[in-house]
Amino acid sequence: MIRWAAPPRRPLRRQPATLVALAWLALVVTAALAAPALAPQGPLAADAARALLPPGRGAPLGTDFIGRDILARLVWGGRWTLQMSAVALALAVGLGLPVGLSAGSLGGRVETLLMRLVDALLAFPTLLLALTVVAVLGRGLGPVALAVGLASAPPYARVARSVTREVRRQPYILAARAVGASSWRIALRHILPNAAPTLIAFAATQFGWVLLNGAALNFLGLGAPLGAPEWGAMLAEGRGYLRDAPWASFFPGLVLTLTVLSANLVSDGLQEASGQQ
Amino acid sequence: MTVRYIGQRLLEVLLVLWLAATLAFGALQWAPGDPAQVLLAASGASPQEVAALRQRLGLDDPPLQQYLRYLLDLVRGDLGRSWLHGRPVGRMIAEQFPSTAALALAATSIGVLLGVSLGTLAAIRRTTWLDKAITALAVLGLSTPIYWSGLLAILLFSLTLRWLPATGEGTWRHLLLPALTLGITLSGAIARVVRVRVGEALSQPYVTAARARGLPPLWVLVVHVLRVALGPAVAVTALQFGFLLGGAVVTESVFARRGLGRLLLGAIVSRDMPVVRGVVLVGALSYVLVNLLGDAVQAWLDPRLRDRAP
């Protein structure tokens, strides 16, 4: 049977999946902040006698190839991974939003010029662009955050511009113009607030993306220094022991996936709550 | 599609490619380190030898001259020589291209087949458990890093069940795991767009009209709904080709496959900038061409787009 009618919209509090996702994100952030209290031994405490222990007593998620506790490393690693993603997201929004907003609200030559530049950057696939930036800046967690942030700015500018253009067509913008509001006032006081739901939802999606891409660069060995408990780097380290100690790569990947999934679910939930599909 | 529209699009593509090439040139100029020293570092060359090499590579010429020479070389299809191996970058890329192309093609086929069928299924059963299950699967596929799902696939199918080889290449058996890993992630993105677009199309007046004329539901779905809804799906597939290129870097690393991704990664680690630039430019070129093709297919699928030339 085919259902032809469109579904109704749902407020955030009536979306259990979104609430669970928010709770997981809160848990991950809290754990990262409380790392010194939760895992006082630190992420680097090694014990060769306890190498490659399976999950169980003493090590809830097992230990890695030099006997470091995986759970402790994941909790501490949240600091590395989340910080990297936060910097990258701030960069993507901080660069993309002003460009997209001014292109979309000012129009004309400014728009053509800005969007041509964005198009040229979009011609580079995100991860390839990030890899190029890392190639120029050299390896390290800072360059990776910078690279992923820069590479995510063009898509954000694109979306910001298209939402802005949509909002600009609304009658209340015409009304604001009619009473003599300046272009900047219209952009900041009228367009921005009304574009906010989409902009926030897309920022949530982007958070998932920068997390995924940042961890990918770390997985490829271009970011965090050797032995650092960054999630992607942990996954790469555990990969050598896939046969004997699958937990060493399974749990970092699981935490990463759940976090990205939560970001995507929150984004979907926000869109559904504001009536967009 | 008029000739004028095609000409306009081609001009746009050329402009974008020129900007991309310029950015790639700039990246190489800003990169710290003296290529001549990088090249001769291993052999412990004297300053005279470094200076001689700098001159031979044209590194002492004014930047504008270097830039024009670079553009001219690009137009002739010359991507320069590797700093590390001294071989033409174009040939190095040509050697690795088939392996990555096979992976991309297989992954795209899997992604489109799975994505379109699951997305349509979810849309026509909106708000039922089937829709919810498919939506959940799609977002899960989208959120799972390929460097994790790839390892899980190796663990399950190669190490535990011993059905398929984990690494290597040559036969379809070697291609299957990497292509599935990449294709399933791709299908998540496609299914989401197809679901929304088919969902929108289902309540459009022309669909209601077709149903009112008494056409069979399946006919309406395939001929009226899918034809229009597939346009955006094609656009998303073309856009996701960029994800595919990045994903190929990771996938090739996970499954130890040859290919452009491995070439790029090795070049980044050894700072072999001409190779980095060459691979990135070839990536950008194929991305732009695939998107151009996507636009053409979209216009063919949805006649309304043909009159709306930008």
Q: Do A264 and B143 touch (CB under 8 A)?
A: yes
Summarize the confidence of residues A175-185 as an average pLDDT: 89
Concatenated DSSP letters of chain B:
--HHHHHHHHHHHHHHHHHHHHHHHHHHHHSSS-HHHHHHTTTT--HHHHHHHHHHHTTTS-HHHHHHHHHHHHHTT---B-TTT-SBHHHHHHHHHHHHHHHHHHHHHHHHHHHHHHHHHHHHTTTSHHHHHHHHHHHHHHHS-HHHHHHHHIIIIIIIS--S-SS--SSHHHHHHHHHHHHHHHHHHHHHHHHHHHHHHHTSHHHHHHHHTT--HHHIIIIIIIHHHHHHHHHHHHHHHHHHHHHHHHHHHHTT--SHHHHHHHHHHTT-HHHHHHHHHHHHHHHHHHHHHHHHHHHHH-GGGGG---
Lowest model confidence (mean pLDDT) among A36-40, B98-102, B185-189: A36-40
Q: Quick: pLDDT tens for A210-258.
A: 999 999 999 998 988 888 889 999 998 888 888 888 888 899 999 999 9
Report how far residue B152's alpha carbon sits from residue B181's, in angstroms, rounded to the nearest whole number.
10
Question: Does A99 fall in a domain?
Answer: yes
Question: Does A10 fall in a domain?
Answer: no
B181: how many CB neighbours lie within 10 A of its CB? 28
pLDDT for B308 beyond 60 = no
Distance from CA of A212 to the nearest CA of B (A): 6
Q: Do B242 and A208 touch (CB under 8 A)?
A: no
Contacts of A131 in chain B (CB under 8 A): 246, 249, 264-265, 268, 276, 280
Q: Do A242 and B211 touch (CB under 8 A)?
A: no
A-B C-beta contacts closer than 8 Å: 175
Contacts of A2 in chain B (CB under 8 A): 124-125, 202, 217, 221
Question: Does A34 fall in a domain?
Answer: no
Residue of B33 and B51 predicted with greater confidence: B51
Contact A143, A82 (CB under 8 A): no
Q: Do A131 and B280 touch (CB under 8 A)?
A: yes
At B88, phi and psi to the nearest 5? -60, 130
Query: What average pLDDT is seen over chain B?
Result: 84
What is the complex's ipTM, to 2 decimals?
0.84
The beta-carbon neighbor of A242 closest among B30, B147, B151 is: B151
Share of chain A above pLDDT 70, in %: 98
Distance from CA of B35 to the nearest CA of A (A): 12
Q: Quick: pLDDT tens for B104-146.
A: 999 999 999 999 999 999 998 888 899 999 999 999 998 999 9
Q: Which pLDDT score, from 0 to 100, does residue A240 have?
A: 85
Question: Does A12 fall in a domain?
Answer: no
Distance from CA of A268 to the nearest CA of B (A): 9
Q: Do B16 and A120 touch (CB under 8 A)?
A: yes
3-state percent breakdown (helix, strand, coil) of chain A, nearest 5 = 75, 0, 25
Report how far residue B104's alpha carbon sits from residue B97's, in angstroms, rounded to the nearest whole number.
10
Point out which residues pair with A59 in neighbouring strands.
A56
pLDDT for B43 beyond 80 = no
Q: Do A125 and B15 touch (CB under 8 A)?
A: no
Residue of B31 and A219 predicted with greater confidence: A219
Question: What CATH code is carried by the domain that includes residue A195?
Answer: 1.10.3720.10
pLDDT for A98 beyond 70 = yes
Q: Do A235 and B199 touch (CB under 8 A)?
A: no
Query: In the block, which residue shows the tokens 């030339």?
Result: B309
Q: Quick: pLDDT tens for A7-45.
A: 677 888 888 889 999 999 999 999 999 888 888 888 888
Query: In the block, which residue shows the tokens 């529209």?
Result: B5
Distance from CA of A260 to the nearest CA of B (A): 5
Using 50, 70 and 90 to split pLDDT, how confident is the model at B310?
Answer: very low
Mutate to test the interface with B, among A9, A24, A136, A267 (most CBs of B within 10 A): A136
Share of chain B above pLDDT 70, in %: 94
Report how far residue A130's alpha carbon sits from residue A150's, in angstroms, rounded to the nearest whole number.
7
Summarize the confidence of residues A150-173 as an average pLDDT: 90
Q: Do A220 and B207 touch (CB under 8 A)?
A: no
Point out which residues pair with A69 in neighbouring strands.
A63
Range of the structural domain that residue A206 is part of: 69-273
Contacts of A1 in chain B (CB under 8 A): 125
Distance from CA of A186 to the nearest CA of B (A): 27
Question: Does A230 fall in a domain?
Answer: yes
Distance from CA of A7 to the nearest CA of B (A): 7
Number of domains, chain A:
1
Question: Does A244 fall in a domain?
Answer: yes
pLDDT for B65 beyond 60 = yes
The beta-carbon neighbor of B125 closest among A3, A17, A254 is: A3
The amino acid occupying position B16 is V
Question: Does A185 fall in a domain?
Answer: yes
Contacts of B265 in chain A (CB under 8 A): 131, 220
The beta-carbon neighbor of B20 closest among A124, A235, A249 is: A124
The beta-carbon neighbor of B287 closest among A123, A133, A221 is: A123
Using 50, 70 and 90 to split pLDDT, how confident is the model at A123?
Answer: confident
Question: Does A256 fall in a domain?
Answer: yes
Q: Do A219 and B250 touch (CB under 8 A)?
A: yes
Instruction: Of B233, B204, B251, give the one whose Cα is nearest residue B138.
Output: B233
B9 lies within 8 A of chain A by CB:
no
Distance from CA of B246 to the nearest CA of A (A): 5
B43: how many CB neighbours lie within 10 A of its CB? 8
Q: Which pLDDT score, from 0 to 100, does residue B158 have?
A: 84
